[in-house]
Amino acid sequence: MRHELVGQAIEADLLPSMRIRHHAAVARALADRPFVAMHHFRTALDPVAVRHAAIAAADAAAAIDAPLDELGALELAIAAGSATGVTSRHGGRRRSDPPVLPPTELNARAAEAAFAAGRPVRAAAYLDAAIASTDGRRDRTRLGLIHDRLAQFRRIAGDAEGSLAARRRAVDLVPTTPSPARAAVVAGLAQMLMLEGTFSEADRLARDAIRIAKACDPPARRWELHATTTLGVSLGWRADPEAALAMLTDARAMAEELGDLDELFRIHANLTTVLELAGRHEEAVKVASAGIEAAKAAGLEAVYGNVLRGNAADSLFLLGRWEEARAMSMTALEWLPAGINFLNALVSLATVEIELTAGEAAGRLLGQTLLELEAVRDAQQAVPLHLASASFALWRGDLEDGRRAADRPGGAGIAGPA
């Protein structure tokens, strides 16, 4: 059609039964354009064909890294899933529904797309649905790995308690014999406990995960690396920063060898934290800056660069380079991060604004950050935020309010470990 109004005029002139056959014919003719075919099959009231076209459309979106479009197509496929087993018509000919992705796989894939699109709460909801459709008696390992991934989504969404519960459930489900899955869930629980400040148990579990990973055939080096990073951070918090730095440096070399970008940028973030603990703030800024540049080069600035910006802002603040710290935090917030990443940048910005001005703008920002902490209960951010609250009260001459802020329960102290 030269114009969409021409198409609408033709469609309006068709009788309902003819309209359905028309859309079905258009969909078949445009099968190589799955998003268009998906729309026409939906208008043709053919849920079976919609489901297959939607999955093809999701594949096309994933191929060009368009997670929000992939999620939309997968959600349509899931909605059409209730038609499994029904028959559909194409020009009067009936056919049965051919095999499609099982519900567990479809929900798990939708969860990954939602997470990549920056919607961790929806991602967690889809994994809850995947868990409900998984037979744990037949495949405990698969169910355990879904719980492990659910823990990651809940953590990013700010649900620390739910994340820890999912981690523990994953460890309970996966058999204890050495396997990559077992190494993965034990390493995941070790990381979670490290983030919560339970360093002795995190240390024990990280060492156990390393042992399991090495016992696999072939060795599960990815999970050995993950647990080594966690162990290094735990050592840093347990008053041995030099040993921690040596371990994290070795881990960085292993991540580069394996090409594991997730772990590589996690190590960059944790190196800045341990350098902070050692009082080496200038080095922490340099490591964070190098990580940000590496994230840019990999096309992952929005994913990893802003986490590092939050850490760099903390170091810059302690160095007295407050304008740079403010600029770093504001750049991180421009990407509109969600959950913990948003709170991390917000706490850094609130802290520096209070020390620079302690005016009404700083007060509004502090209030916003305190509300965000209520929604995203993260122990790492509680202490620096309550410290900033006490500082704001002191600048305003309200000693009683400063005392209340200082007495608030908090968490691990310095923000930053990942």
pTM of the model: 0.74
The pLDDT value given to residue 398: 67
At 6-17, the pLDDT tens digits run 878 887 887 777
Higher pLDDT, 339 or 25: 25
With 90 as the cut, is the pLDDT of residue 349 above it? no
How far apart CA 68 and CA 153 sit, in angstroms, is 17
Q: How many CB atoms lie within 10 A of CB 142?
A: 17
Residue pLDDT, tens place only, 66-94: 889 999 889 888 887 765 544 444 444 34
Angle between helices 199-215 and 221-237 (to 10 degrees): 160
Q: Which residue has the higher pLDDT, 410 or 287?
A: 287
pLDDT at 318: 81
Per-residue confidence (pLDDT) for residue 370, from 0 to 100: 63
For all residues of the chain together, what is the average pLDDT? 80
Question: Lowest mean pLDDT: which of 75-89, 116-130, 159-173?
Answer: 75-89
The pLDDT assigned to 377 comes to 58
| Three-class SS of the chain | CCCHHHHHHHHHHCCHHHHHHHHHHHHHHCCCCHHHHHHHHHHCCCHHHHHHHHHHHHHHHHHCCCHHHHHHHHHHHHHHHHHCCCEEEECCEEEECCCCCCHHHHHHHHHHHHHHCCCHHHHHHHHHHHHHCCCCCCCHHHHHHHHHHHHHHHHHHCCHHHHHHHHHHHHHHCCCCCCHHHHHHHHHHHHHHHHHCCHHHHHHHHHHHHHHHHHCCCCCHHHHHHHHHHHHHHHHHCCCHHHHHHHHHHHHHHHHHHCCHHHHHHHHHHHHHHHHHCCCHHHHHHHHHHHHHHHHHCCCHHHHHHHHHHHHHHHHHHCCCHHHHHHHHHHHHHCCCCHHHHHHHHHHHHHHHHHHCCCHHHHHHHHHHHHHHHHCCCHHHHHHHHHHHHHHHHHCCCHHHHHHHHHCCCCCCCCCCC
